[in-house]
Amino acid sequence: MASLFSKIIQGEIPSYKIYEDEWTYAFLDINPINLGHTLIVPKVEHDHFLDVPEPFYSAVFKAAVPIGKAIMKATGCKRIGSVILGFDVPHFHYHVLPLWDSGDISFRRAKPRENHEMERVQKEIVSRL
């Protein structure tokens, strides 16, 4: 059965798409720690990041650079943080987060946001890619 992220990539479930190329798909986290919190996923489904084959694996991290720079410009954050956890969805996903403080990396702070907030930050990030 396809993961939630595979369904998002295939367009079966809507997302706030940030970026897409041949190997990756990036979209806003629906429970962001801070607005602009983006997930980058490979277009192949593997539960653990160590199992992701090339060129998909490297493409995730390569995409993180321009996406991170765009998030920084769009949000005015001080830093971009990144995390690989993978507990919630069995499809490797790389979190790229806008940070103002080291305490911002706590997933306990994650919460749903209003649609207009998500659309605004999506447009801001995409316009800077």
pTM: 0.95
Q: Rounding to the nearest 10 degrees, give the CA dihedral for residues 115, 121, 124, 125.
A: -120
Rounded Cα distance, 18 and 13, in Å: 15
Alpha helices for 1-129 (secondary structure H):
4-9, 56-75, 115-126
For residue range 53-85, list pLDDT tens digits in order.
999 999 999 999 999 999 999 999 999 999 999
Cα 105–60–115 angle (5° rounding)? 55
For residues 29 and 113, the answer to whether their CB atoms sit within 8 Å is no
pLDDT band at 11 (very low <50, low <70, confident <90, very high): very high
Residue 60: give the domain boundaries: 4-126
Q: Of the ranges 3-12, 22-31, 76-85, 103-112, which one carries the lowest mean pLDDT score?
A: 103-112
- The CATH number covering residue 110 comes to 3.30.428.10
- Alpha helices in 3-76, H assignment, sequence order: 4-9, 56-75
- Specify the number of domains making up the chain: 1
